[in-house]
Amino acid sequence: MNTMSEKATDREEIEYLLPWHAAGTLSRRDAERVERALASDQELARRFDLVREELSETIHLNESLGAPSARAMEKLFAAIDAEGAHRRKPGLAMDVRTKVAEFFSAFAPRTLAFASAAAALVIVLQAGVIGSMVLNSPEQPSYKAASAEHPVGINFYVNFAPKVTADEVTKFLRDHKATIIDGPRIQGTYQVQFREVATKEDTARILRELQNSRNIIASEFEATPAK
């Protein structure tokens, strides 16, 4: 009985692996295991034929999607060119990096502070823009953890535009009564809390305003509601 159920489980496991076997992406050991099962199980072999059929048509479907126009490449390299100068200013970067590392070390464990300091140059520059804004401007919204201080609000994850200046970020945050509460995360994303948001209409308005501020906010998506 036990052997039968073991066999059934093993067969089920093999069946789960059939798509990867068809695509040739299994480890040698798993591939051999599947091959042995296929050789001794006609029904499994029939099902494998169905998998191969699906694989073939999925490739056909994707290949029929065409390719992007040259616009995608032009846009990319225009953006890279725009950033080029920033990547070649190590002196400035080191200066900003030190400043940002000191800033973040006040809020995060030492290891995280150094991890932030070791982040990609552009991310550091972005952090530097925001860091210097927080450090140098007395009237600025501050970088601090979300707390019960703000009973309502909405959080968005945002990526700042590559060429944004400290003044622009400062003004944007002040105008929207917003605070950076986390970041930079992977891909240079920051979490920003908009405090004066209580209704769905407010959220929709903020989203529209973010989307209309592409010179400052490159992209955004809504995070969990602020508590």
Partner 1 sequence: MSANQATSDEVLIGRIAKGDRLAMQVLFARHHVRVYRFVLRLVGNPTTAEDLISEVFLDVWRQADRFEGRSAVSTWMLAIARFKALSALRKKPDEELDEETAETIEDTADTPDVALEKKDKSAVLRQCLEKLSPEHKEIIDLVYYHEKSVEEVAEIVGIPENTVKTRMFYARKKLAELLKAAGVERGWP
How many residues make contact with partner 1 (CB under 8 A)? 55
- Indicate the residue among 9 and 56 with the shorter CB distance to partner 1: 56
Is residue 47 at the binding interface for partner 1, with CB under 8 A as the rule? yes
Of 158, 159, 146, 160, which is closest to residue 195 (Cα–Cα)? Answer: 146
168 binds partner 1 (CB under 8 A): no
Residues contacting 95, CB < 8 A, separation 6+: none
Q: Which of 100, 88, 84, 89 is nearest to 135 (CA)?
A: 100
Q: Is 198 near partner 1 (CB under 8 A)?
A: no
Minimum CB distance to partner 1, residue 142 (Å): 26
Is 220 a residue that touches partner 1 (CB under 8 A)?
A: yes
Task: Give helix 42-63 / helix 2-23 axis angle, nearest 10°.
Answer: 30
Residues 170-189 that bind partner 1 (CB under 8 A): 187-188
Q: Which of 42, 62, 111, 224 binds partner 1 (CB under 8 A)?
A: 62
Helix, strand, coil in percent for the chain, rounding step 5: 60, 10, 30
Of these, 6, 32, 53, 167, which contacts partner 1 (CB under 8 A)?
A: 53
Out of 8, 23, 45, 108, point to the residue binding partner 1 (CB under 8 A): 23
Residues sharing a CB contact under 8 Å with residue 136, sequence separation 6 or more, in sequence order: 166
Q: Where would I find the beta strands (DSSP E) of the chain? A: 154-160, 178-182, 190-194, 217-222
Nearest to 10 by CA among 33, 29, 28, 32: 33
Residue in 45, 120, 165, 185 binding partner 1, rule: CB under 8 A: 120
Work out whether 22 is an interface residue with partner 1 (CB under 8 A). yes
Q: Which residues bind partner 1 (CB under 8 A)?
A: 15-17, 19-20, 22-26, 46-47, 50-51, 53-62, 65-69, 71-73, 75-77, 79-80, 83-84, 87-88, 119-123, 187-188, 207, 211, 218-222
